[in-house]
Structure 1
């Protein structure tokens, strides 16, 4: 027979239990708070999210009085909490155990692209926008992280993505933020922006006229994977703008405004190769193979003979998990099926230099060995990644041939293929070029001082839908 404790004794045990529970809670809380205050433990960058974390805000009396300073401290504290990467990984593992990251469709941001005009020319040279470049405080580290909104159910069955003979995926995929995932492949949704596209058109016209009689201007707009590797009907279902129509609109208007600009359309070429490995599955970039097919189209426009792909030395860097892993809230299928970065070393030289953020000259490799790099950083094998200024000098040529490549990160994989054709290649990332004082953010000065013959714009289509980026390019031709 079980012995029943007196009420007073039970009450005493209960009070002891509550006391111990409070002590444990406050002890753990205190320890976590102390850990959070240990500055050396605070991370500065996020490997998973591919971004620089929030910095401690600068104190000013005005920011303190209006609350901005304390808000900034709160954001800094939460964004740089010690062991945040381990906590994110743990959170992802727990979600995976509960099946949260299955083949369900998740709401995206609800954004939609503008209607793409057809059947007429919409832009005149006078319509140029006064877009302003981004502030100098912009980080050179890519961010691209999108938050996921609420989930919704879908009739889409789980399993492998259905791929047809043309290489396009034809099933409706999972959405996470502005990234859609089907099987082990992710796609970034493209939203056409008419105002920004018109600004891009007038910017290219402005650039050519600034360089008229000095250098040839080439414009390459690169589709992203969603426009090439996803069936058009599925693109419509997920509200992604038609990239072929967008590129046609921009190029038709450029050619109408200025016949001296040489537009290089690569959409059809990439469509014809979409069953090949021309885009990464876990990252928003294209592969070197996609860049090579674009290089062939540039050679046609320029009148060059492209170097056969088999003539390059090929190197591979496996286990690459790119930006889509972070911006899809770490879908496990992407992590479990990493990409391989394949690069092709130029025949003439593999040497280059770039100017770092401290304005120091750094010797580097055009195709750099990234075998020891973090899994999310291996795309940086190409052309020193995203630097304000870089230069390649080809020791096998002495004909004075030279070009300026104006690019964002898509251009990095394209640059190695140009090396064997030019004595000098000047590389400008328009997002950061303003920080290099030598040329005063002036492409005209760079071109005239170095007798440059070709200026090559290479951007992915998202750049022409971003007024800030267009403004950054335009500012270099003021």
Structure 2
């Protein structure tokens, strides 16, 4: 009993000391280098928000984010849990809850950030908080993406992580629906996910797709040093995507040719024999969509092309994006859809930017991902160009392959078109053929755009999260007509198509009739 009292006193003493140190720590961090995200700022007091319970929740998130020694404690906790796991290949299921800013909110936040330290030139630009999109587009996007409570890392999702449960002989039962929580389950097997039932000596069982409720829930499987994003087909979301693109086709008119490109997630091309029941077929989802799009819209078949090259390094292991090589194959598919010849990859200068720990790692802090970093490769354009990024009324010149991000181990994806943020951007080349294309994209489009330079005189880049009718004074249709756009390419990856909030942002660029009238009279 005496020892118990001593233990309790020591525990209370440690907590008290840390609390006092944290109280007098006025130099609160703004960025978590470990998690590669901007931390919550101190909320302004509001009696209305206090009564609604919003203020206390926001302050709790701020306190948690800025607690003294937080990064060190998070990493120590992860390492301790990893050390307690059984040796051998592990499989981890991770669930996180995503949120997304509306375009107008993202624009206003971006303008605010640009006036401060987080101006898009380093880690933590909130304008890039995607749909999963911390600066490297977090996991949406979705992109992103960031979590509903503002935390890019929804708990410590390691094997047997916080709130985790084992998945053995059953499905993903027991997943919480609590905002900002995390579930990580270790599959009880000393075998890798590639093994068949005959190799393991056990009957092959499918894991049920019990995904819980809500469209804002994302799932990833970490297996043998690779993270893959799982897919749950949402029929209504795909119908919504087709309705939006059909609306674009109608409003743009016959003078603008529209293309639809939907990059699949890496899980579609990874052999997950034992866990095949955990994810829906993305190919079937694309087949469903094809009949819904207007005949004037051309679907770019990147699926078959990527499937042909699935044994190549087309997706990152520690990031949800495709690699530059995967983006090149997608570009080749686009050229095929246009009945044009792609530029051979050998014509590009290959840039090796070293090790990369991307969005999947910063989201999960998974130890097996940390031990197996990606090798980041970019391809330098040979076409002469001028690249201007517009932030509201401000603009800045940038590089299509922006080497200022090359040394940032968790931010290298920002190398592609210098993060792809901004209200809108334009690349003007010396290819004087009069062709002008607009790319409406999520972060998957960032790696694709550099390959378009040899084919167009002007390339306009729009991220649906950051374009602002308020800032430009034009709906996206008016903007396209004003710039003389001939082609419109949508590059929105599978999970963002499946995410109603993201597509709602794409829809909002068209503006309501009231917005259009306001723009015309301003």
Q: Do they superpose with TM above 0.5?
A: yes
Matches within 5 A, 1:157-172: 157-158=190-191
Q: Aligned equivalents of 2:405 and 2:449: distance in 1?
A: 20
SS in 2 for 1:152: coil
Deviating more after overlay: 42-51 vs 331-340: 42-51
Residues 29-64 of structure 1, C-alpha deviations (whole Å, 9 max, x = no match): 444223323565422233443433223222212112
Q: Over aligned residues, Cα RMSD in angstroms? A: 3.2
Quick one: distance in 2 between partners of 1:21 and 1:108? 34
C-alpha separation in 2, matches of 1:288 and 1:236:
27
C-alpha contact 2:265 2:493 (8 A) present in aligned 1? yes
Residue aligned with 2:74, SS: helix
In the alignment, does 2:203 pair up with 1:203? no
Which residue of 2 is the match for residue 281 of structure 1?
Answer: 317
Aligned counterparts, 1:179-328, within 5 A: 179-231=220-272, 233-234=273-274, 236-238=276-278, 240-254=279-293, 258-327=294-363
Please point out which of 64, 67, 70 is paired with 2:56: 70
Find out whether 1:409 has 2:443 as its counterpart: yes
Deviations 1:327-350 (A, max 9, x none): 3x4221210110011111111136
Q: Which residue of 2 aligns with 1:353?
A: 388
Provide closer, same or farther for how the CA distance between residues 397 and 276 of structure 1 changes in structure 2, counting only shifts above 3 A: same
Deviation of 1:317 after TM superposition, in Å, equals 1.4
**Structure 1 residue 422, shift from structure 2 partner:** 0.9
Q: What SS is found at the alignment partner of 1:315?
A: strand
Residues of 2 paired with 1:324 and 1:395: CA distance?
34
Displacement of 1:152: 3.3
Within 1, Cα distance between the matches of 2:405 and 2:93?
A: 36
Distance in 2 of aligned mates of 1:41 and 1:151: 40
Unaligned runs of 5+ in 1: 1-13, 112-131, 164-169
Distance in 1 (alpha carbons) for counterparts of 2:419 and 2:94: 29
Largest Rg, 1 or 2:
1
Alignment of 1:16-95 (within 5 A): 22=9, 28-38=14-24, 41-95=27-81
Whole-angstrom CA distance in 2 between matches of 1:110 and 1:452:
38
CA offsets, 1:247-300, max 9 Å, x none? 11112211xxx2111111111111110000000011100001111111111111
TM-score by length of 1: 0.81
Assess, with a 3 A threshold, how the Cα gap between structure 1 residues 188 and 19 changes in structure 2: closer, same or farther. closer
**TM-score, normalised via structure 2 length:** 0.74
3-state DSSP class of the match of 1:180? strand
Q: Is the 8 A contact 2:35 2:365 kept in 1?
A: no
Q: Distance in 2 between matches of 1:47 and 1:193?
A: 35
- The answer to whether the Cα contact below 8 Å between 2:194 and 2:271 also exists between their aligned partners in 1 is no
1:318-371 alpha-carbon deviations (Å, 9 max, x no partner): 2111122233x4221210110011111111136412134x75312111011156
Within 1, Cα distance between the matches of 2:193 and 2:238? 36
- Which residue does the alignment assign to 1:364? 398
CA pair 355-193 structure 1, distance change in 2 beyond 3 A: same
For residues 267 and 86 of structure 1, do their structure 2 counterparts lie closer, same or farther at Cα, with a shift above 3 Å needed? same
Match of 1:366, SS state, is: coil
Displacement of 1:234 after TM fit?
4.7
Structure 2 residue corresponding to 1:448, chosen from 468, 481, 484? 481
In 2: Cα distance, 1:405 partner to 1:110 partner: 29
Is the partner of 1:34 in helix, strand or coil? helix
For structure 2, the residue ranges without an aligned partner over 5 or more in a row are 110-125, 140-152, 158-163, 169-186, 197-203, 212-217, 512-522
2:373 paired residue number? 338
The 1:68–1:312 alpha-carbon spacing in structure 2 relative to 1, beyond 3 Å, is same
